[in-house]
């Protein structure tokens, strides 16, 4: 059977009227009431079944017994006189048993008794029986030898009268209602007594569960309660539950210890990273400074190179002017070739020096860029270290919250 779940913040949780003990007593009381009602209903059904199935036979048997009673009275010499006294008693007795009876004398009996005894026999009149569902039986009483002494007008085998027996369904249900009233009060007292006994039994049996509830409540409402353990008082399901809860708390305690150990290692690693980071930062700053110093030194060196000095440049310009003048004066080709070779050597040296300087400058610039990227990576490491530090602090706070109060 499916049950709707409650929200964990529902105000119904924890109320006294929602207690398991109250629910059990209430359900047990309702079930006992239902069982009692069902029992009375089944008894009513059995009453009706007995009336329909066994009722006709019972009425036939009662009619036979009544006829036998009448025969017994008739066997006495003063039977007709005794009948006037005995018939009311018989009628009352059968009424007490829940039967309606009638003893109807035949006309021959009425005539014979009036002639012999001087009174009119009435028997047990049929009366004004109410209309109701019933079973009825009728038996005729016939004349026998001993009857002829009083019933002088009758012959053997003549009908001297009839006995009628009737039992109403209402009578059976009236008896059933009396039984319900009597047993109902007893059943109600029994239900109350059983409910009280169940309360005492449940209160005793639920003590381990209440202890478990107290442990779980301490765990749920206060940090630092992982040292609480449930007492194992019984070997039943509650004892198993208490044992399993203790095992679970032991596992949680071990996990907290392992987490604390991991966080301690994280803190140590973080401290080491901070130390290494500080040293690496100093080395990178020193390297960057040296690289920039080398750039400035190379630039100054290139500017002060003797082959590229201003004196050499002035000399080249003078040679160029002299070469132009001599070329205008018609100098010999050998002198011009020497001058040209000197100029070509200078230019070749200058170009090689410039190319080498450019390559050095490019390498120094790339090295400077690499150092800048390294400084950026170092900055990322710093941010990562800060994040790790935050994680370590959060984990440490969690461990402190989970630790028992006063534990180191």
Q: Exposure pattern of 309-338 as b/e (b: 16+ CB <10 Å)?
A: eeeeeeeeeeeeeebeeeeeeeeeeeeeee
pTM, two decimals, is 0.51
Q: What would the mean pLDDT of 104-126 be, rounded to a whole number?
A: 86
Query: Is 163:102 a contact under the CB 8 Å cutoff?
Result: yes
Tell me what pLDDT residue 50 has: 92
> Across-strand partners of 134?
168
Integer angstrom CA distances of residue 61 from 30, 52, 215: 43, 15, 73
Classify residue 172 by burial, with Cβ atoms within 10 Å: 0-12, 13-18, 19+.
buried
pLDDT tier at 211, thresholds 50, 70, 90: confident
Residues contacting 117, CB < 8 A, separation 6+: 80, 81, 150
Domain boundaries, the chain: 14-205, 261-332+340-402
Torsion of CA 43, 49, 50, 52, to 10 degrees: 150
Query: Which residue would you say has higher pLDDT here, 157 or 45?
Result: 45
How many Å apart are CA 135 and CA 57, to the nearest integer?
A: 9
pLDDT per position as a tens digit, 294-350: 667 666 665 555 545 555 556 666 666 666 666 555 555 566 566 666 666 766 666
State which H helix or E strand residue 97 sits in: none
Tell me what pLDDT residue 38 has: 92
Whether 355 has a pLDDT exceeding 80, the answer reads no
Write down the residue that tokens 């199935």 correspond to: 53
Here the tokens at position 55 are: 């009722």
Helix (H, G, I), strand (E, B) or coil at 201: helix
Query: Which residue would you say has higher pLDDT here, 180 or 406?
Result: 180
Instruction: Tell which residue, 117, 20, 103, 14, has the closest CA to residue 66.
Output: 103
Whether 107 has a pLDDT exceeding 70, the answer reads yes
* Cβ neighbours of 105 (radius 10 Å): 23
Residues contacting 199, CB < 8 A, separation 6+: 21, 25
Whether 354 has a pLDDT exceeding 50, the answer reads yes
Whether 33 has a pLDDT exceeding 50, the answer reads yes
pLDDT tier at 60, thresholds 50, 70, 90: very high
Query: Which residue would you say has higher pLDDT here, 53 or 298?
Result: 53
Radius of gyration of the chain (CA): 64
Q: What would the mean pLDDT of 197-201 be, rounded to a whole number?
A: 84
Report the mean per-residue pLDDT for the chain. Answer: 76
Residue-wise DSSP of 249-293? HHHHHHHHHHHHHHHHHHHHHHHHHHHHHHHHHHHHHHHHHHHHH
pLDDT tier at 59, thresholds 50, 70, 90: very high
pLDDT tier at 2, thresholds 50, 70, 90: very low
Classify residue 47 by burial, with Cβ atoms within 10 Å: 0-12, 13-18, 19+.
middle
Tell me what pLDDT residue 254 has: 83
Query: Which residue would you say has higher pLDDT here, 238 or 72?
Result: 72
Whether 93 has a pLDDT exceeding 60, the answer reads yes
Query: Which residue would you say has higher pLDDT here, 219 or 140?
Result: 140
């Amino acid at each position: 059977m499916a049950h709707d779940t409650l929200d964990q913040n529902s105000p119904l949780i924890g109320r006294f009227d929602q207690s398991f003990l109250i629910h059990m007593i209430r359900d047990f009381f309702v079930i006992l009431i239902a069982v009692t009602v069902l029992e009375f209903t089944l008894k009513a059904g059995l009453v009706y079944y007995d009336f329909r199935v066994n009722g006709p036979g019972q009425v036939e048997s009662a009619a036979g017994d009544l006829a036998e009673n009448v025969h017994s009275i008739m066997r006495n010499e003063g039977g007709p006189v005794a009948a006037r006294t005995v018939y009311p008693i018989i009628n009352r007795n059968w009424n007490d048993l829940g039967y309606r009876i009638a003893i109807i004398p035949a006309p021959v009996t009425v005539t014979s008794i009036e002639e012999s005894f001087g009174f009119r026999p009435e028997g047990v009149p049929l009366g004004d029986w109410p209309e109701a569902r019933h079973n009825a039986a009728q038996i005729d009483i016939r004349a026998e030898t001993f009857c002829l002494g009083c019933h002088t007008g009758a012959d053997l085998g003549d009908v001297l009268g009839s006995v009628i027996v009737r039992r109403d369904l209402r009578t059976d249900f009236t008896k059933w209602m009396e039984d319900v009233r009597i047993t109902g009060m007893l059943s109600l007292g029994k239900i109350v007594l059983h409910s009280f006994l169940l309360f005492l039994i449940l209160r005793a049996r639920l003590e381990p569960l209440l202890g478990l509830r107290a442990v779980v409540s301490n765990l749920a409402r206060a940090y630092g309660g992982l040292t609480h353990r449930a007492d194992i008082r019984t070997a039943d399901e509650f004892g198993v539950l208490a044992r399993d809860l203790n095992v679970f708390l032991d596992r949680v305690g071990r996990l907290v210890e392992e987490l604390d150990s991991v966080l301690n290692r994280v803190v140590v690693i973080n401290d080491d990273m901070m130390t290494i980071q500080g040293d690496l930062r100093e080395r990178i700053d020193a390297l960057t400074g040296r690289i920039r110093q080398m750039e400035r030194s190379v630039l100054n060196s290139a500017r002060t190179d003797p082959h590229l000095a201003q004196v050499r440049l002035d000399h080249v310009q003078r040679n160029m002017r002299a070469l132009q003048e001599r070329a205008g004066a018609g100098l010999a080709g050998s002198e011009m070739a020497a001058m040209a070779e000197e100029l070509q050597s200078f230019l070749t040296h200058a170009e090689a020096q410039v190319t080498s300087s450019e390559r050095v400058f490019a390498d120094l610039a790339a090295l400077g860029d690499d150092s800048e990227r390294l400084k950026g990576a170092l900055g990322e490491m710093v941010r990562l270290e800060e994040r790790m530090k935050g994680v370590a602090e959060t984990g440490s706070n969690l461990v402190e919250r989970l630790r028992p109060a006063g534990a180191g």
